[in-house]
């Protein structure tokens, strides 16, 4: 029972970290697209 709870908490932490990295990546990708659009 305790192992399942700890596994769920660990999974939530990993998902949260992955989502934060995805948001950062998306923002960088958007900024790069804007820079490229201005340069053309």
pLDDT at 38: 87
* pLDDT of res. 30: 95
Q: Hey, CA dihedral for 35, 36, 39, 40, is it positive or negative?
A: negative
> Model pTM?
0.74
Q: What is the pLDDT of residues 1-40, one digit of tens each?
A: 999 999 999 999 999 999 999 999 999 999 999 999 887 6
Q: How far is CA 35 from each of CA 22, 29, 32, 39, 40, rounded to the nearest angstrom?
A: 20, 10, 5, 6, 9
């Amino acid at each position: 029972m305790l192992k399942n709870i700890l596994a769920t908490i660990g999974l939530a932490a990993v998902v949260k970290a992955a989502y934060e990295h995805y948001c950062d990546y998306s923002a960088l990708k958007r900024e790069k697209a804007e820079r490229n659009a201005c340069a053309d």
